[in-house]
């Protein structure tokens, strides 16, 4: 294969990326980004790779979650804090079920660019370019707003830096103390209708009490009060990714400095395409979205291109088929991976295959379909003897009404009341935590099957 360089993707077909009309401004922005510091360090990306390698062997479990698309308008310190809080709560509940460390990766500090099924959108007989995420254009439906503006890359960079700065402070500054995290969860389980979650909550409390009695507390034990938190996003806007790609001075390898883990979307995974060409050359752990149209042969090709050395932790396969469809699709891909002897981490994204239109006209997803897809994922992996190594969600800390269902049920009629997403429907904080509890039960069953083998 041709020697990689970080600009060679430009010779490949340009899909799902904007056509910037002002090339002078684009070059100016790229040159500016090139001078800016990377957001992350190579050592962090390597550490995450080691953890993901462990998850592929069943020795850890990945929780990846966050907004479908981060937004400039909804950016605030409180939202970063609350998103971090929900992810920590989910991780703690999942740790209880998985009995292995949970790796926490946010769709955050860079998750701005969106692939779209339709290049244009029609409203009141007017046709305009689709909204492609705040890093590219603006959601407002008018020609000026929808024009791609290179300056938005600088704003997205600034927001990402500020977000990651706060996340780093929260990770080590006392906010992540397990006692605090569990106190929030206990509060949730005390709410009306949440009785079903009290048993797991009180078992976690017993464990914390037991450890405290044995002298393991936030004061004595680093792991009790700090967390490792990683960032991830879809590597879609390659001008932005290329400008933040730098040589790691320790290994001389290339690092995508925009986030710890990058993934390739289901619409941009053409083995001959620009996105695959760019991402193959960076050292970061990478995700590959696997939807119903991915053939076993293409998966084999992609694994050969993206991870020729079969390095552990490099490849995370994020499956997103839609509930009821896993038995048709997943076993074929698992067998392809087995035939290649490829080392991969299997993760379930139960969001993107389960998008529907509600009776009231909103794009939505039902809680039950999301949960069913996760259950099918566990079931197929049990049958195939492979490891279900993680979950991937679109979620928010806010009390939105975007996905239906949950124990505090949201109906089709409720969707209009707090539908705030700029792209896909997200689980709200309560639905996210509820899902974590139900998956923890699933994981408990899975572990008990393992121990009886
Ligand atoms: C996403 O994760 O937001 C996304 C667009 O996913 P996919 O590429 O799987 O459709
Ligand atoms: Co999405």
Is residue 262 within 6 Å of ligand 1 at its C-beta?
no
**Would you call 372 exposed, middle or buried from its count of C-beta atoms within 10 A (0-12, 13-18, 19+)?**
middle
- Ligand 1 mutation target, pool 265, 269, 319, 321, most atoms within 8 A of CB: 265
Atom of ligand 1 nearest to the CA of 289: 9
Query: Which residue's structure tokens are 């492609």?
Result: 132
Is residue 400 within 6 Å of ligand 1 at its C-beta?
no
Is residue 442 within 6 Å of ligand 1 at its C-beta?
no
**Would you call 255 exposed, middle or buried from its count of C-beta atoms within 10 A (0-12, 13-18, 19+)?**
buried
Instruction: Quick: pLDDT tens for 206-265.
Output: 999 999 999 998 888 888 889 999 999 999 999 999 999 999 999 999 999 999 999 999
Calculate how far, in angstroms, residue 180's C-alpha sits from the geometric centre of ligand 1: 33
Atom of ligand 1 nearest to the CA of 68: 3
Number of H helices, E strands in the chain: 14, 14
Calculate how far, in angstroms, residue 364's C-alpha sits from the geometric centre of ligand 2: 11
- Ligand 1 mutation target, pool 65, 320, 354, 391, most atoms within 8 A of CB: 320
- Ligand minimally distant from the alpha carbon of residue 353: 1
- Ligand minimally distant from the alpha carbon of residue 262: 1
Q: Which residues 6+ apart lie within 8 Å of 272 measured at CB?
A: 12, 13
**Closest to 426 (Cα-Cα) out of 386, 388, 391, 399:** 399
Is residue 265 within 6 Å of ligand 1 at its C-beta?
yes
pTM over 0.75? The answer is: yes
Give the helix, strand, coil percentages of the chain, each rounded to 5. Answer: 45, 15, 40
Looking at residue 192, its pLDDT comes to 87
Q: Which residues 6+ apart lie within 8 Å of 398 measured at CB?
A: 79, 82, 418, 420, 428, 429
Listed residues: CB within 5 A of ion ligand 2: 68, 424
CA atoms within 13 A on the CB side of 65: 34
Looking at residue 1, its pLDDT comes to 75
Is residue 132 within 6 Å of ligand 1 at its C-beta?
no
Atom of ligand 1 nearest to the CA of 318: 9
**Measured between alpha carbons, how far is 343 from 337 in angstroms, rounded to an integer?**
8
Instruction: Quick: pLDDT tens for 326-375.
Output: 999 999 999 999 999 999 999 999 999 999 999 999 999 999 999 999 99
Calculate how far, in angstroms, residue 265's C-alpha sits from the geometric centre of ligand 1: 5
**Measured between alpha carbons, how far is 241 from 46 in angstroms, rounded to an integer?**
18
Looking at residue 307, its pLDDT comes to 98
Q: Which residues 6+ apart lie within 8 Å of 210 measured at CB?
A: none
Calculate how far, in angstroms, residue 394's C-alpha sits from the geometric centre of ligand 2: 7
- Ligand minimally distant from the alpha carbon of residue 421: 2
Calculate how far, in angstroms, residue 128's C-alpha sits from the geometric centre of ligand 2: 21
**Measured between alpha carbons, how far is 444 from 167 in angstroms, rounded to an integer?**
30
Is residue 248 within 6 Å of ligand 1 at its C-beta?
no
**Would you call 54 exposed, middle or buried from its count of C-beta atoms within 10 A (0-12, 13-18, 19+)?**
buried
- Ligand minimally distant from the alpha carbon of residue 236: 1
- Ligand minimally distant from the alpha carbon of residue 64: 1
Is residue 287 within 6 Å of ligand 1 at its C-beta?
no
Residue nearest to atom 6 of ligand 1 (CA): 265
CB 412 within 8 A of CB 404: yes
Helices (H), 173-237: 178-190, 198-213, 222-225
pLDDT along the chain (453 residues), means of 10: 92 96 97 98 98 98 98 97 97 95 98 96 96 98 97 98 98 90 90 89 92 90 92 98 96 97 98 98 98 98 98 98 98 98 98 96 96 97 97 96 95 95 95 96 81 62
Calculate how far, in angstroms, residue 426's C-alpha sits from the geometric centre of ligand 2: 8
Calculate how far, in angstroms, residue 421's C-alpha sits from the geometric centre of ligand 1: 15
CB 135 within 8 A of CB 156: yes
Is residue 425 within 6 Å of ligand 1 at its C-beta?
no
């Amino acid at each position: 294969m041709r020697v990689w360089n970080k600009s060679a993707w430009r010779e490949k077909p340009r899909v799902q990326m904007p056509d910037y009309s002002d090339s002078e401004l684009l070059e100016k922005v790229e040159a500016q980004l090139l001078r800016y510091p990377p957001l992350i360090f190579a050592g962090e990306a390597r550490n995450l790779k080691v953890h993901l390698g462990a998850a592929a062997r069943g020795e850890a479990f990945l929780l990846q979650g966050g907004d479908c698309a981060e937004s400039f308008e909804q950016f605030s310190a409180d939202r970063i804090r609350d998103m971090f809080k929900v992810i920590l709560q989910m991780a703690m509940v999942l740790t209880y079920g998985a009995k292995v460390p949970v790796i926490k990766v946010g769709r955050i500090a860079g998750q701005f660019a969106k692939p779209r099924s339709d290049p244009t959108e029609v409203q009141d007989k007017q046709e305009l370019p689709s909204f492609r995420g705040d890093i590219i254009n603006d959601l407002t439906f008018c020609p000026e707003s929808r024009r791609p503006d290179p300056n938005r890359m600088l704003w997205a960079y600034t927001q990402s830096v500020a977000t990651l700065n706060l996340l780093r402070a929260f990770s080590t500054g006392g906010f992540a103390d397990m006692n605090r995290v569990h106190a929030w969860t206990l509060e949730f389980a005390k709410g009306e209708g949440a009785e079903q979650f009290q048993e797991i909550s009180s078992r976690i409390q017993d464990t914390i009490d037991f450890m405290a009695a044995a002298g393991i507390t936030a004061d004595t034990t680093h792991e009790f009060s700090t967390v490792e938190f990683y960032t991830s996003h879809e590597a879609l806007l390659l001008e932005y990714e290329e400008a933040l790609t730098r040589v790691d001075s320790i290994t001389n390898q290339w690092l995508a400095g925009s986030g710890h883990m990058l993934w390739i979307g289901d619409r941009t995974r053409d083995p001959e395409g620009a996105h695959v060409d760019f991402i193959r050359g960076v050292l970061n752990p990478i995700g590959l979205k696997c939807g119903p149209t991915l053939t076993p042969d293409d998966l084999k090709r992609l694994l050969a291109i993206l991870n020729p050395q079969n390095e552990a932790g490099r490849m995370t396969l994020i499956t997103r088929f839609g509930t009821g469809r896993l038995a048709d699709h997943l076993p074929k891909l698992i067998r392809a991976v087995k035939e290649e002897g490829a080392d991969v981490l299997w993760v379930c994204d139960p969001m993107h295959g389960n998008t529907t239109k509600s009776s009231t006209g909103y794009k939505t997803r039902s809680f039950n379909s999301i949960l069913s897809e996760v259950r099918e994922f566990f079931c197929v992996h049990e049958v195939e003897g492979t490891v279900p190594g993680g979950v991937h969600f679109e979620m928010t800390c806010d009390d939105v009404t975007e996905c239906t269902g949950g124990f505090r049920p949201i109906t089709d009629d409720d969707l209009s009341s707090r539908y705030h997403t700029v792209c896909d429907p997200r689980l709200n904080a309560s639905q996210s935590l509820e899902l974590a509890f139900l998956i923890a039960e699933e994981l408990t069953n899975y572990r008990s099957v393992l121990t009886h083998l």
